[in-house]
Structures are given as C-alpha cells and as structure tokens.
Amino acid sequence: YESQFIRPSQILSVLGPTQKDILKSLENKLITAYDFIKTKNYNDALNIFLNLTDIYSTIEINTNCAILLEMTGKYESAIEYCNKIITHDPENYAAYHIKGTSLGLLKRYPDALDNLEKALSINTTSEVHYNLGYIYMISEEHDTRKAIEHYNASLDLDNSFPSAHLNISICYFNYGDYEKSLQHVDKTIILDPNLSKAYS
C-alpha cells in the first residue's frame, strides 16, 4: 500500500490535471457559496467557507466565516474567527465590528462597546455608529444621550438608513421630545413604508 500513497510531487496532479483546473474548481465552490448567500441559504454557504478555511485560511475567507456564523446565530464561533483575524491583522475593522455585534447579541455589552469603539477608531462608518447607538440604547445603563449621539452620527453618514431613523425616534420619544421623534418616524415610513414598528 505504501507505493499508493500520494507523494508531494504528485499533489497538484491529484487535485487536477492543470493549475487552471484546480483554480476553476475553487472558483466554482466560491460561486456556489455566494449563490447560497443571495438565496439566504446561509448555513449552506457557511459549510463551504468553513471547509475552505482548512486549506485557505486567509483573512477574507475567515471574515466570511465570521459574518455567516453571526448571521446563523453562532456568536461564540463568530468571535473565535474574529480573534483569529485580529491576531494576524490587529487593525482589521470588519473583525472588531463583527466581534462587537456578536458580543452585543450575547448581551456582553461592555465588551461589545469596546470592540465597536475600536472598529470606529479604524474606520468611521454609518453601520458602526448605528450599532454603538443600539448597544447604548438596549444595555443596562440605557444611555439615551450617547445612543442619540451615535444615531445622529450614523445618519450624518447615511440619511437613508430607516432603522437608524426608527431607533433615534424611540430615543427621542423616551426623552419626551415628541416633535423630533415624529420627524424621524415619518422619515422611517418614507424610506420603508412596510416597517410596521414605525406605524406603531
């Protein structure tokens, strides 16, 4: 049987007759994964990316794994992948952002805020301001002032973000500023007429 083992010099020929064939096979796997994402079959896409990490443990593939793990509710595993990415790239915005939102979903709010603030220090985006606002809004401290501050920053960067308008409306309502609350909830309905929470 020893004579039948694959020798290192044979590896590529076993995977395919040419490098082009090997890369084509990999490309097809990735196309299939992205097709699954488009059709919201996130678990099927995740399985492909997890299998690829055994061979191609790149930052990009690990990031896709972290995103899909979070989207499928596997928050602890998403955090593990983010930590892997941060080990190789300590200034990786996506890793801190995904880790922060995953920690928030696990209700570990102080750690969530730390990671989201780190993400913000690397790249100022509407999404990270939105998530910081959300954590301040739902955490035990209920820091409505900081929530409003981050939602406003999010809307300064992207004024067509219905969830940010809706949540800042709730914050203003809780503050007793009903005029501002109405302005933002009206904007939410214009942007997303099917958002039932806005009407309520």
Tens-place pLDDT, residues 72-85: 999 999 999 999 99
Summarize the confidence of residues 175-197 as an average pLDDT: 95
pLDDT category at 5 given cuts 50, 70, 90 is: low
Q: CA distances (Å), 82 to each of 59, 79, 87, 93, in order?
A: 9, 5, 9, 10
For the beta carbon of residue 87, count every other beta carbon within 10 angstroms: 10
**Average pLDDT in the chain:** 89
**pLDDT at site 175:** 87
The pLDDT value recorded for residue 58 is 86
Comparison of pLDDT for 141 and 183, the residue scoring more? 183
Task: Report the predicted TM-score, pTM, of the whole model to 2 decimal places.
Answer: 0.83
